[in-house]
Structure 1
Amino acid sequence: MTPLIFLPGASGSLEFWQPLMALLPERYSKHVIGYPGFGSVPMQESVYDFDSLSRHVLAQVDQPCVIIAQSMGGILALQAALQKPELVKGLVLIATSGGIDLSPFQVEDWRSAYKNQFLNYPDWFAAVHLDYASQLSKIKQEVLLLWGDADLISPVAVGRYLNQKFQHSTLHIIQQGDHLFAAQHASEVAEFVTEYLHALESSA
């Protein structure tokens, strides 16, 4: 069975994914990739900026997998899909707030709040601005897009934009879901993800 790899958002919280992971089918192996220097994950000298973090994450994508990414983790998920398309069998992007230019979408400025809340975290994560918009059409995997209708950091308009850019994608909206809905509405999210995984199995 294809393993599931989970990528946290800017908080780097490993615990964020626990409610969802507990509700997904047991036959899937599940692995959360920690970001060195974030939260409870010890620092590593080899991870000192976004490029080195990308290398750290991509090195762990070493077998066929489905990547499930929250918020800024979406940048790393897109990199993996573009650089290792033979290994990334599917993408689940949840409230993604990175990888495209968000200035047209009137999003809430999460970066200032992030720096104030996570004082001991690496500040380079909040400073990165990467735009993969021109490359999204190259991603041929089936992409599941999940967005919350009460998310001010990555509004539904961002999900709709991505849904138009990917070759194969499906967008679902979580009612009353804010930016952290994947944990707060884990049951509903698990239903969509499980259905998506079943569809991937059927098409393999």
Structure 2
Amino acid sequence: MPEKTLFLPGAGGSASFWRPVADRLGIEGTFFSWPGLGNEAPDPAITSLDDLVAMVVEHIDGPVNLVAQSMGGVVAIRAALAKPQFIQKLVLAVTSGGLPLADLGAADWRGDYYRTFPSAARWIAAPGVDLSDEIKTIKAPALLLWGDSDPISPIAVGERLSKLLAGSELHVIAGAGHDLAQTHAPAVADLIGAHLRG
């Protein structure tokens, strides 16, 4: 495995999100938190998704793996597009990845999100850019992890992403929802470990 693995959470923003999986794998990676999202303290310098992407890209100065969940997957895709030469392996869990979701049956997450995190930054709910064409250019081997009980990012999203990412593998975990890295950590860790070693 490359020395550096970057773990990117979703809009919950907590650096602890991927810890159960990383601990099982024995990986001491770099764990990002997202200022102003979830319960994370805001940072005046972070006012958009672009700023989160810039924060991650700054850490890519050699070979890396990117392991990302949900909104973090959009950041990972954009970082991979910015520095393709350094991306060894991608792991994308229950993410739009920058795809439009209107025709894929995805539930709108915004209402529940702001009820759970009333102080979270409003910019995270802004519509994203369609990255479908750019995603096709990513060459890094990608593992796609989905649950069959996730209304926010249903399996159809993973299937479309898999078609765009050449050589990607989609694994669906029975009974798993949007937080599968925490609720199904052993299964997720096994799949990620095999992918990163492969």
* Aligned CA distance change for structure 1 residues 190 and 172 (closer, same or farther; 3 Å): same
Q: What is the count of residue pairs matched by the alignment? A: 197
Distance in 1 of aligned mates of 2:126 and 2:111: 10
By how many angstroms is 1:44 displaced?
2.3
Structure 1 partner of 2:184: 185
Amino acid at match of 1:91: L
| Cα distance in structure 2, aligned partners of 1:156 and 1:148 | 7
Aligned to 1:71: 70
* Matched residue type, 1:92: V
Q: 1:6 matched to which residue of 2?
A: 7
Q: Distance in 2 between matches of 1:21 and 1:118?
A: 25
1:115–1:126 CA contact under 8 A, matched in 2: no
Unmatched 5+ stretches in structure 2: none
1:114 corresponds to = 113
Instruction: State TM-score, norm by structure 1.
Output: 0.91
- Which residue identity is paired with 1:125? I
Q: Which amino acid letter does the alignment assign opposite residue 139 of structure 2? A: K
Q: Is the 8 A contact 2:39 2:117 kept in 1?
A: no
Q: Are residue 49 (structure 1) and residue 48 (structure 2) matched?
A: yes
User: Which runs of 5 or more structure 1 residues have no equivalent in the other structure?
Assistant: 200-204
RMSD: 1.4
Q: Which residue identity lines up with residue 79 of structure 1 in the other structure?
A: R
In structure 2, relative to structure 1, the CA distance for the partners of 1:130 and 1:137 (3 Å cut) is same
Q: In the alignment, what sits opposite 2:34?
A: 35
Superposition TM-score, scaled by structure 2 size: 0.94
SS of the residue corresponding to residue 45 of structure 2 reads coil
Deviation at 1:39, TM superposition (A): 4.4
Q: Deviations over 1:98-135 (max 9, x none)?
A: 41100011111101211222111111012241211111
Superposition deviation, residue 18 in structure 1: 1.5
Percentage identity across aligned positions?
39
